[in-house]
Amino acid sequence: MKDPRAAIRAKAMALGFDAIGFARAELGADTGLRLRKFLSNGYHGEMSWLAERTYERSEPKNLWSEARSVISLGLTYCPDQNPLTNSESRSIGNISVYARNRDYHQYFKGLLKHLAQCVVSEIGCDVKVFVDTAPVMEKPLAEKSGLGWIGKHTNLVSRRHGSWLFLGEIYVNVRIEEELPHPNLCGTCSRCLDICPTHAFPAAYQLDATRCISYLTIEHRGSIPINMRENIGNRIYGCDDCLAACPWNRFARDLTPHPQLQARSDLKAPNLGFLASLGEGGFRQFFSGSPIKRIGWTRFLRNVLIAIGNSQDVNLVNCITPYLNHDDAVIAETSAWAEKRLAS
C-alpha cells in the first residue's frame, strides 16, 4: 500500500488542524505501570473514572482490539497574552485559558469526523474517533506520534505550539508507518515545577492531582482544604501556571487561529463581585455552552468565594453576606472563611 501519510497530513492541515502524527497502536508496559502507580498513590483523588477503566486506558488495543495505528491530532488554543498576568489582579476571577470560550470537544470532534471520512476514503479502513471522552492515553500517544514530548509538568510540550494543544485521536485498523517519537527537550529546566502554587508535583513527571488547583476547583466536590485556599489565589476554574511557565511557549503563535477557541472578552478578567451575584439561573445563562457550566453553580460559587477571601478587597464583603447562612454547608463555611479573611 502506498504511504498515505502525506495525503492525510495535507487534508488535516486543510481542515484546520495544527499538528498531526502517526504511531502504532501500542504504548508498552511502562505507560501502564506509571498509570497504576499514579492510581495506587491515590493521586487521582475523586476521579474514579480513571481507576474504573485502567485496562482499556493502558493500551489502545484493549479499548478496540482491531486498532493497529493511531493518528494523533492537535489544535492550538494559544492565548493572546500570558495568563500569569491575571493572577496579579486580585479582584478578578482567573479562568483557565481553555475554558474562556465554548467547550472545545464538539468543535474538535467535528473536525476529526471530517478527517476520519477522508482516511477511510484514502486507505479503506475502519476508524474510531476520540476527544477526551474515552479511556485513551492522549499524551503518551501524541508523544509517540511525534507531536511533542511529555514535560516535567506531565503535559505535552510542542516545539511549535508550546503547552497549548488540545489533543484528539483517530484509531484505524490498518497499519500506517509510524513517526519517530519526539525527544524530550526539557533539559535541566524546572520552571513548571517551581511555579506551582500548591506544590502538586512530588517529583518531575509526577502529578498529585489532589493538590492541583485544576483538580480542586473543577473535580473536587466538597470543601476545599483550608491549607490550600490561600495559594489558590483568584483562580476560580482551573490553573495555567505550569503551562504558562514553560519557556517553549515563546515559539507558540501569538493567538490561536480558531475563533471557537479564542477567549470571550467577558471571560478574560471577570469581576468577582459580578460572578458572586449571578445566582444559579444567571450562572447557567452566562456560562451557556461553556465547560464551566458542568461543575454547577454551587461548586463554582465555592471557588468565587475563596477568590474573594483572597482578594484583600474589603469592598467585596457585601458579596459574601448573602451566603453566610446558605443551606449548603460548604457554601456557608466558605463564606465565613472568606469574610474572616477580609476582616483580617
**Confidence tier at 29 by pLDDT (50, 70, 90):** confident
Q: What is the pLDDT of residue 344?
A: 83
Cell matching residue 328:
449548603
**Confidence tier at 1 by pLDDT (50, 70, 90):** low
Q: Can you list the positions of beta strands (E) in 79-147?
A: 94-95, 127-130
Active site residues: 132
Q: Can you list the positions of beta strands (E) in 39-164?
A: 69-76, 94-95, 127-130, 149-150, 156-157
**Integer Cα distance of 68 and 176 in angstroms:** 8
CA 190 to chain centre: 20
Q: What is the pLDDT of residue 117?
A: 96
- pTM here is 0.94
**Integer Cα distance of 278 and 301 in angstroms:** 9
Question: What are the residue boundaries of the structural domains of the chain, listed by start?
Answer: 5-88+101-172, 191-255+264-343
Q: What is the pLDDT of residues 205-258, one digit of tens each?
A: 999 999 999 999 999 999 999 999 999 999 999 999 999 999 999 998 779 999
Cell matching residue 123:
486507505
Q: What is the pLDDT of residues 136-163, one digit of tens each?
A: 999 999 999 999 999 999 999 999 999 9
* Residue 242: closest CA among 291, 198, 289: 198
Helix 296-309 to helix 329-343 angle, to the nearest 10 degrees? 10
**Integer Cα distance of 108 and 167 in angstroms:** 9
* Residue 227: closest CA among 193, 206, 191, 197: 197
